[in-house]
Amino acid sequence: MSPFLSRIVIAVVLLPIVLGAVYLGGWWVFALVAIAAGVSLHEYWLLARPLAPLTLAGYIGTALALVGAEVSGAVWMLGGIVSTFALAFALKAISEARAAATPAVSATVMGALWIGGGLAFFILLRDLPAHGRLALVTVLLAVWAGDTFAYFGGRLIGRHKMAPAMSPGKTWEGFVFGSAATVFVAFVALYKQDFLTIAQSIVLGVVLAFAGPMGDLFESLLKRDAGVKDSGSLLGAHGGMLDRLDAFLFAAPAAYFTILAFTA
């Protein structure tokens, strides 16, 4: 199967599962996010293996963050992430491994913050009063559209490298295509909805258009440090779970706080 066809098949299979969970909300979203977090953390531990991360602390901290987000909201989600630091320190204190403590604890906390915290915002977005379903669907579709159009725009007319040291395949032309698609989808999804104004929906689209690619570039930087092209092979031509979620791990928090600023 060609890489292009593989991308289409994976997208067709996953899209209804994700949108179905978002439509149902509650613990369905939690279950989807928990599975994605577990797989993504596993891929991250492999990337960060030279730093000897304390994986158990990362898994527990992420689990506490996700449960906190579902049960009590952002404050308890933050508490779960912060607990990772104490757990990592405790495990390092009793560990007999000779790896340096600073990189080991730092890599562990970053995994919980980046992956657990980023995915917890899916839950927080879905749990927004009255319009949570619309908010999360908008973020998902806008970022998906931006990623897709950036990919094809870069392949068709991409000439100027965006960040050659981190991700040689990304171009400014692709970024422009992707940004336009992201803003357009956010605008259409929220048009004439009793949620955000037209101006606010465009601002949200702009925020997503910048946050998504930054998340993508951040993961590219980690993969470059690890000397790998993809975080895994679970999703065929899409790469690993992290390769599919990297943009969302920055975009979801950015969207959540942007929406709070508009609706508070």
Average pLDDT, the chain: 91
For residue 161, list its beta bridge partners: 171
Residue 122 has pLDDT above 70, yes or no: yes
Give me the mean pLDDT over the 84-97 stretch.
90
Q: How confident is the model at residue 85 (pLDDT cuts 50, 70, 90)?
A: very high
pLDDT in tens, 36-46: 999 999 999 99
pLDDT in tens, 160-213: 888 777 777 788 888 999 999 999 999 999 998 999 999 999 999 999 999 999
Contact indicator for 252, 260 with CB cutoff of 8 Å:
no
Comparing 238 with 249, which gets the higher pLDDT?
249
Question: What integer pLDDT is reported at residue 75 of this predicted model?
Answer: 94
Question: What integer pLDDT is reported at residue 186 of this predicted model?
Answer: 97
Q: Which residues contact 164 (CB under 8 A, 6 or more apart)?
A: none
CA distance 175 to 163: 11
Kindly tell me the sign of the dihedral angle through the C-alpha atoms of 190, 191, 196, 201.
positive
- What percent of the chain shows pLDDT beyond 90? 72
Q: Which amino acid is at 241?
A: M
Contact indicator for 36, 245 with CB cutoff of 8 Å:
yes
Label residues 95-116 b or e (16+ Cβ within 10 Å = b): eeeeeeeeebbbbbbbbbbbbb
Question: What integer pLDDT is reported at residue 24 of this predicted model?
Answer: 95
CA distance 29 to 208: 21
Question: What integer pLDDT is reported at residue 188 of this predicted model?
Answer: 96
Q: List the chain domain ranges.
A: 27-126, 130-264
Question: What integer pLDDT is reported at residue 6 of this predicted model?
Answer: 64
CA distance 259 to 157: 34
Question: What integer pLDDT is reported at residue 200 of this predicted model?
Answer: 97
Give me the mean pLDDT over the 91-117 stretch.
91
Comparing 118 with 236, which gets the higher pLDDT?
118
